[in-house]
A = this chain, B = another copy of it.
Amino acid sequence: MTATHNFDKALALTPGTQRGHFAGTTSPDYWNMVGPFGGTTAAIVLQSVLLHPELLGAPIAITVNYASAIERGAFEVQATPVRTNRSTQHWTIHITQADANGEQQVNTTATVVTAARRETWRASDIPVPQVPPPAEVARMGIGPSGVAWLNHYDMRPISGHVPTKWDGSGDHSETRIWLRDAEPRALDFASLASMSDMFYPRVWLRRAKHVPAGTVSITTYFHAGKAELAEVGTGYLLGRATGQRFHNGFFDQAAQLWSEAGELLATSNQIVYFKE
């Protein structure tokens, strides 16, 4: 008997009668503090495209805008292939939930680009961080934070841990971490999209101050095809995230995700709201 992985349960979408329309339900497993973990929301956006009968190729770019909180319960997703070219396809996606009057209100907007890739020259201009292997790095304890989604990832921070003292002593914003699903699951585009949002708000690390913060918009670029993801399988990814500019209520952070073999699989940027 093979039980369905929690992540696949969270991604489960039922096609509606209208093409590209899907129904889903928020996952208690991947719940964050006041809504679903944003990575899951990005994965659901991507999944609606991957399930669409008109899909061309594989994802190369996704932008997800968290327009408002998603409530526990049912949601709807609409994925529309706005333009299909010979080798690229452009998608718009939105997630909605019914308000008190039963009217669907948009809580998430997104765009995705998919493409039929061809083999070309390859290179990476971002050096792979030199770090000890996952087996030599302690797994992060979750403790009594009450944040459900953290339980579903095996996270092994090498540097840039969540501060244990909120004493304003921070002086950098870089985290390096090994990560993978806690219950093994072979890497695919949906889980890679989700893991791109895995890094806690850089402002906490930079300031060692626990201010309110939340992602407003995330953009992830995929630098691997299905075959390269299959090679990773259930292995660890090496993640690195750094803050860039903190200014008047918003900051951005840049992230990279490598395979254990040192292939840069995804680069991701997000802009994050923060207070004070």
Answer whether residue A206 sits at the interface, using C-beta atoms and an 8 A cutoff.
yes
CA distance A217 to B222 in the complex (A): 13
**A232-276 to B contact mask, C-beta < 8 Å, 1/0:** 000000000011111111101010100000001001010101111
Select one of B65, B223, B249 contacting A118, CB under 8 A: B249
Binding site for B on A (CB under 8 A): 60-61, 63, 65, 67-68, 82-83, 85, 87-88, 90, 92, 94, 105-107, 109-111, 113, 115, 117-126, 172-173, 202, 206-207, 216-217, 219, 221, 223-225, 242-250, 252, 254, 256, 264, 267, 269, 271, 273-276
Of A123, A124, A274, chain B has the most CB atoms within 10 Å of the CB of A123
Cα of A92 to Cα of B110 in the assembled complex, Å: 9
Partner of A61, one of B105, B221, B271: B271
Given contacts A118-B248, A120-B248, A254-B254, 9 further A-B contacts (CB under 8 A): A67-B90, A68-B83, A82-B94, A90-B109, A113-B217, A115-B273, A125-B243, A244-B264, A267-B269
14 contacts between A and B (CB under 8 A): A60-B216, A67-B90, A83-B106, A83-B107, A117-B250, A120-B246, A120-B248, A120-B274, A124-B245, A125-B202, A125-B246, A126-B244, A219-B269, A244-B264
